[in-house]
Structure 1
């Protein structure tokens, strides 16, 4: 989710979401050399469309705090999957 955060989503976050979307749709994380340009163009188009969408959305809800939302997500994950154990390197 990228909408209604304070501070707003960055271009890097929007592009990362676009890459995730294109990977999901294409079924690949790394395109072949033959498909690399099509993949890159799709990422550019989805990034632009996402920016247009985010710029056009209107809400009456107060902006969400990124740290609070991240903490909620970690709590949900811990409840679902159990607490993460520290691993030594």
Structure 2
């Protein structure tokens, strides 16, 4: 992965975190900074997974890569929400 890919993954991570949070039903007890952090990690990991699957560089918008990243962000936000609810209970 090139440096431009890492920078774009970081910027896309901001959007991915928000979309991943919106994909979950109900209210999440996860703050904005944690959502952004999960989105950045999901974007980076999703880019690596998409590259490994050979779907990272396609003509036009990389829809499969976006879906992978959003799904990872949703899983990450849900896991963080679940772990935070256990520590508060």
TM-score, reference length from structure 2: 0.46
TM-score, reference length from structure 1: 0.46
Bigger CA radius of gyration = 1
**Normalized per residue, which structure has more helix?**
2
